[in-house]
Structure 1
Amino acid sequence: METRKLFYEDQYVRAFTTEVLKQDKDEQGRNYVTLAETAFYPTGGGQPHDIGTLNGVIVYDVEEVDKEIRHFVKSPIEVGAECDGEIEWSRRFDHMQQHAGQHILSAVFEDNFGYQTISFHLGKELCTIDLHVDKLTEDEIHTVEQLANDIIAKNLPIEAKWVSNEDLANYRLRKKLSVSENIRLVIIENVDYNGCGGTHPSSTGQVAMIKILGFEKQKGHIRLQFVCGNRVLKQLDEKHQVIQSLTTKLNAPQQQLAEAANRVLQHTKSLEKTVEDLRTELIEYKAEKYMLNAEALNNKKVIKAIIKNGTISELQQMARTIQAMADNTIMLFINEQEDKLQMVLAKTDDIENDMNQLIKQLLPLINGKGGGNKALAQGGGEKIMTATELMGQVVALVCH
């Protein structure tokens, strides 16, 4: 027995009483029931499913499989039992607002600019449409948003009707239908005529408002983000809270927030430049100190240093600084962290040793990985010996 679809007879039905026809589990072991009639909308046509309760049992998913509407429930419900169903109306009405808003938005884009909608996604927070165009301007966005909201303000009727294939010639369809039977049209007179299986409010006024939030290029087309109805208020509330917080933190009224933020960013950049300059000076100071304390080994100057909780990038910069300032020098830096050891090995141009070959000999000692070139190499591995022991191994190879 096929389930009677109350959501197509009256999209405003929130509660109903029916009979449980079947109780079973799907391939994933999820309990589901089928009903003689239902107001629960199953996922389809770009619209997510309804949720709610059946006899107080939570319905968390609804799918149509082989013409069978499955209500996935937290626990089984006895077959043949009278069942009171109730959908979560706030979720359903939100979906109705977003879906109708998409019809209006797509119609305005196509009628005014010739940009066709190629896909629609109704997300939990945002909705998107993909437009068959590779660029979009802010002026076009502003125009479309204004025209769409004008249509909403006119409170035009939104009608859903079933038609035959022969009847289609009487309607200015926006796109070719994918079915030839059980055809359902959603009609906003002189605005949109579209095949659609979703639920919509009875008038455009109930969409309340459309707000376009932004757009981005996606593989040759434009993806537009928007919200309708109560979601606009939610977006406004969230943005208002952020603005209120920023006005306090930046000590500036809303109209001057951008200017105040730019001042903070410029000041931050200046501070970052100062920090970087000081960091460079510190490295140069340390480099000079290391060169003064270099040891003489095999007619070469060798700089050895074990650093606690440093970074590879700092040691690399230190090595390059010394390379530019010294001659006949080999640099052996080990960075000791809580659970690993890292090495940076470098030399000046007048030294024959190959640092890349050297580190390749050392890394197996700590199950490490790394590499580099003849002048500078780096790598790291497990802390299975002390930094001092590893330094001993490094020196032994250099002096070999």
Structure 2
Amino acid sequence: MAAEKLYYKDVYQRKFHAKVVQCRPGKKGYEVALDQTAFYPEGGGQPYDTGTLGKAKVLEVHSKDGEVWHDTDCPLEVGSQVEGNIDWDRRFDLMQQHSGEHLVSGLIHEKYGYDNVGFHMGTDRITIDFNGIVPEEDLPKLEEKINEVIWENIQTRVLYPTEEELKQLCYRSKKELSGWVRLVEFPGTDLCACCGLHVTYTGEIGMVKLLSVQKFREGVRMEMISGKRVLDYLNEISEQNHQISVQLSAKPGETAAAVRRLAEENFRLRGRVMDMEAEAFEQEARRRLAAGDVLLFEKGMEADSVRRLATAVMETCQGRCAVYSDSGDGSFKYAIGEKGGDLRELVRQMNQALNGRGGGKPFFVQGNVKASRNEIEEFWRQRK
């Protein structure tokens, strides 16, 4: 006999007593069936509840063949009475996320006519896939409308229509339904077939934050959070902004302007550095005129600078130019060039000998090696 599903009677029930009907070894410990349970099994896009059954920890909960099975870390005696305790913080968070997702999906469907074709409730963010394009510039207005609905504190309704009643209703569903159907309604906003658990009043969601929207397949993937996750997110952003304001000696509300000024200054300085490097590279190229094969070592150069130095010297040395720059972590960036040459076999041998990787054109290659300067110098000595 299937367990009585207390979670559908009262989504706020945190504690209950039940009789152990079955207990069997499982893949993750033991699988326990009860005569009644408040533990929600994974389904409808909503993850399972966790908590305790007597002395046992409830690790996962799944529905199989109409029965609710609780994966526990230790066995429970069949016929015994146990007290179940739901991890309420987890349950309420998932209810907030799921209810927030319904509001978002409902309003997107109403405004654009798009369907929710994919939904994942992660530990930090919710993702929803829609089969149409939602412009990123629309997110602020959508977010405002969703939160207005939340703050109206509308009561959620759970409906079990007859098959005839179901035919007359306009509701969201990923597939054609018949027979016993459970509908969750946020009046005026959304009506959707759903077996998951939701808050009773929209005010309990607290707030919804739309984080991003990106092109995905034929539509978009939207990231969102609800409830306490919004507060945690805003606190994290606030702390990061505080640290930035301290580093820039700017007020918290003026960090963006300070970063812009810093970026402009950095752009000007990079321009000056590139001009100075260009002059130094030209001098090095003149100094290496007709020198034949050249091996150079530099410190702290960016990959682009390594490339430009190798290119400049390659043009004048009448041989092969190899430039290495110490990255400070036991590796070296490299650039090797030879006018009219074919370096492919040589570079293959070098990458194999010096734990490197890279590539490019036959006459010019770039990459990295994990080796010491002595090892690099020895490699080239053997190839003179």
TM-score tier by shorter-chain length is: 0.7 to 0.9
Aligned mate of 1:331, from 288, 308, 320 = 320
Letter in structure 2 aligned against 1:103 = H
- Is contact 2:307–2:335 with CA below 8 Å preserved after alignment? no
Aligned CA distance change for structure 1 residues 373 and 244 (closer, same or farther; 3 Å):
closer
**Aligned residue for 2:23?**
23
**Aligned residue for 2:346?**
359
Letter in structure 1 aligned against 2:198 = H
- Out of 369-378 and 193-202, give the one that drifted further: 369-378
Write the distance in 1 (CA, Å) between the matches of 2:366 and 2:108. Answer: 56
Aligned CA distance change for structure 1 residues 40 and 285 (closer, same or farther; 3 Å):
same
1:303 is displaced (CA, Å) by 3.7
Letter in structure 2 aligned against 1:207 = I
Aligned-residue identity in percent = 29
Larger CA Rg, structure 1 vs 2: 1
Write the distance in 1 (CA, Å) between the matches of 2:174 and 2:293. Answer: 76
Write the distance in 1 (CA, Å) between the matches of 2:369 and 2:242. Answer: 49
- Out of 283-292 and 193-202, give the one that drifted further: 283-292
Write the distance in 1 (CA, Å) between the matches of 2:333 and 2:224. Answer: 51
State TM-score, norm by structure 1.
Answer: 0.81
Write the distance in 2 (CA, Å) between the matches of 1:176 and 1:44. Answer: 14
User: Counterparts in 2 of 1:191-230, with a 5 A limit?
Assistant: 191-230=189-228
Write the distance in 2 (CA, Å) between the matches of 1:134 and 1:104. Answer: 18
1:371 is displaced (CA, Å) by 7.1
1:147 is displaced (CA, Å) by 2.5
User: Counterparts in 2 of 1:12-161, with a 5 A limit?
Assistant: 12-26=12-26, 28-138=27-137, 140-161=138-159
Write the distance in 2 (CA, Å) between the matches of 1:92 and 1:371. Answer: 52
Deviations 1:22-56 (A, max 9, x none): 22233x35322111111111111011111111113
Deviations 1:250-284 (A, max 9, x none): 22223322211101111122222233333333333
- Measured on the aligned residues, the alpha-carbon RMSD in Å equals 3.5
- Is contact 1:366–1:382 with CA below 8 Å preserved after alignment? no
SS in 2 for 1:183: coil
Aligned CA distance change for structure 1 residues 83 and 372 (closer, same or farther; 3 Å):
closer
SS in 2 for 1:227: strand
Write the distance in 2 (CA, Å) between the matches of 1:9 and 1:394. Answer: 80
SS in 2 for 1:163: coil
Gaps spanning 5+ residues in structure 2: where? none
Aligned CA distance change for structure 1 residues 344 and 89 (closer, same or farther; 3 Å):
same
1:110 is displaced (CA, Å) by 2.2
**Aligned residue for 2:338?**
346
Deviations 1:304-342 (A, max 9, x none): 43648898876654442134345xx22354859879998
Aligned CA distance change for structure 1 residues 133 and 380 (closer, same or farther; 3 Å):
closer
SS in 1 for 2:383: helix
Letter in structure 1 aligned against 2:346 = I
Corresponding position: 1:305 with 2:273: no
1:64 is displaced (CA, Å) by 1.2
User: Counterparts in 2 of 1:209-358, with a 5 A limit?
Assistant: 209-291=207-289, 294=291, 302-305=292-295, 307=297, 317-325=308-316, 329-331=318-320, 333=322, 344=336, 346-347=338-339, 354-356=341-343
User: Counterparts in 2 of 1:161-180, with a 5 A limit?
Assistant: 161-175=159-173, 177-180=175-178
Letter in structure 1 aligned against 2:383 = V
Aligned CA distance change for structure 1 residues 147 and 234 (closer, same or farther; 3 Å):
same
- Is contact 1:359–1:378 with CA below 8 Å preserved after alignment? no
1:376 is displaced (CA, Å) by 4.8
**Aligned residue for 1:398?**
none
Write the distance in 2 (CA, Å) between the matches of 1:55 and 1:29. Answer: 18
State TM-score, norm by structure 2.
Answer: 0.84
Letter in structure 1 aligned against 2:320 = M
Write the distance in 1 (CA, Å) between the matches of 2:250 and 2:280. Answer: 38
1:150 is displaced (CA, Å) by 2.4
- Is contact 2:306–2:334 with CA below 8 Å preserved after alignment? no
Write the distance in 2 (CA, Å) between the matches of 1:361 and 1:96. Answer: 56
